[in-house]
Structure 1
């Protein structure tokens, strides 16, 4: 089941029977210690090791992806004109359903912490959007930013405590529901790009949006797909079953990666518009006074 934008690998990759029933301790003799401690996976060959490392790079890219946009929105204060609210809502919905799937299928704590962080940054982006929309509409804003931060922290802590205080899911129907949430998350992630692409096309500009948001997402989706492919030679079970279990997130990752290529093309095409606009604004103050002075000299 996916933890969020980075699906976690299950027992197909790890050694399926590496715990001594009588002693209750790991028998992963040749496994990598730090992976065993951090991810509870017995990785004992180069293929699995590369898959885990690439997967962690993917997770790290996703963790950082929204932060540049948070800074860009704070810097220019015009996020409501640059970002599509539909993009933010679909992104948040994807992370929320991912958390539901992560909870229902009892994923690792590190995966839960990751998806909670995603939800937290989503709420920050949505809050920034609403805050600057209200502010730029000249509506009086009192302690709205502080209330936003408190609400986001409260939501993140609530989700974390919900996971930690509940017992792991054991029912097969609950696990299936978790996988369905994974499919829904992939659909939400795919849908998130269309409103932003349309918004950029309408404005003929990408000004106010941070390209790092999409660049890091592309790196995250690309490395995730690579982490799944790399591990295939080391699988001890059916490769077909493994692919089917990861198919939803592979489709989601590949689809978002392709759509982000369109966003990249928009950044390249519309950059000329931004440069032309900036040049025009810089030239106007310099040209007008000179013309005025020349006209005055002619009159004299």
Structure 2
């Protein structure tokens, strides 16, 4: 499965999808053709099939998670007031470590393309943050700032479009027959997975504090966190569903995925706290609005009474 944006589908795939010579790969006779072609996994029973489908749903949720926030930032133009820069930086750090795991362990093209898309959306969010921060702090509009952001986004897009092809070409020519190298790469995958989980978990705390400090969630899109919760929840479900179909030790399988399961559960809990903030602060905001509407407009009446008394 592909690397996910929150600890969901981290680099734990290095433990099971480590690229080895194709000679040693078993022949898949009764496997599902589209899964074999897309993910190079032999799925020949219903449990594994459900696990793969749920895992793809998880990946799809993560792919869409940041797009609502990009639109929300473009719509209100006050992203620097709503989003925590620490949240964006930790998110970017988590995706970079996931990308490093994909590169070092020669993962499938779909995994490389997915994590590159994550980095691309991170760069858009960070660029939006810096653009609106500079724009709103300046007294007048600067056309130079617009051109600088356009050039930056264009250059980043070209690099990220060319990156997957370069990595896939390099991975096909790499020598994977050295067992000691494969072992060191597997350990590197572990380290990258743990680092990604730490980064993703750490990203929530600056945003939680930012919301608490403002006593508001205005300017942030709840879909960002809702889709992340769906992605982490479906990832955990995809791991649990495959357990009845395992031919090996269930305990060793759970241990291999434990770090990412803990990370997913941790982010899920923190996103639940963000959900509570959204409900609580929006309720307070609506209560304040209704209270202001219920105040009688006595000032104009008093002004009229004073004018009549003078006459």
Instruction: Indicate the SS of the match to 1:3.
Output: coil
Task: Report the CA distance between 1:222 and its aligned residue.
Answer: 0.4
Q: Do structure 1's residue 190 and structure 2's residue 201 form an aligned pair?
A: yes
Query: Is 1:154 the equivalent of 2:168?
Result: no
2-structure distance, mates of 1:274, 1:10: 44
Q: Secondary structure at the residue paired with 2:31? A: coil
**Runs of 4+ more than 3 Å apart:** 7-14, 276-284, 286-300
Aligned partners of 1:2, 1:296: CA distance in 2, in Å? 75
TM-score (norm 2): 0.85
Q: Does 1:246 align with 2:257?
A: yes
Deviation at 1:242, TM superposition (A): 1.3
CA distance 1:29–1:211, change in 2 (3 Å):
same
Match among 241, 252, 256 for residue 230 of structure 1: 241
Gaps in structure 1 of 5+ consecutive residues? none
Match in the other structure for 1:89: 89
The 3-state SS of whatever aligns with 2:95 is helix
Alignment of 1:134-145 (within 5 A): 134-138=134-138, 140-142=142-144, 143-145=147-149
* Alpha-carbon distance in structure 1 between the residues aligned to 2:304 and 2:158: 61
Aligned mates of 1:114, 1:190 — CA distance in 2: 20
Measure how far apart 1:246 and its partner are: 1.3
Relative contact order (C-alpha < 8 Å, sep 6+): which is higher? Answer: 2
Residue from 283, 291, 300 that aligns with 1:272 = 283
Gaps of 5+ in 2: none
Residue correspondence of structure 1 range 78-227 to structure 2 within 5 A: 78-138=78-138, 140-142=142-144, 143-167=147-171, 170=176, 171=181, 172-227=183-238
Q: Which residue in the other structure is 2:63 paired with?
A: 63
- TM-score normalised to the size of structure 1? 0.88
2 CA distance for matches of 1:193 and 1:213? Answer: 12
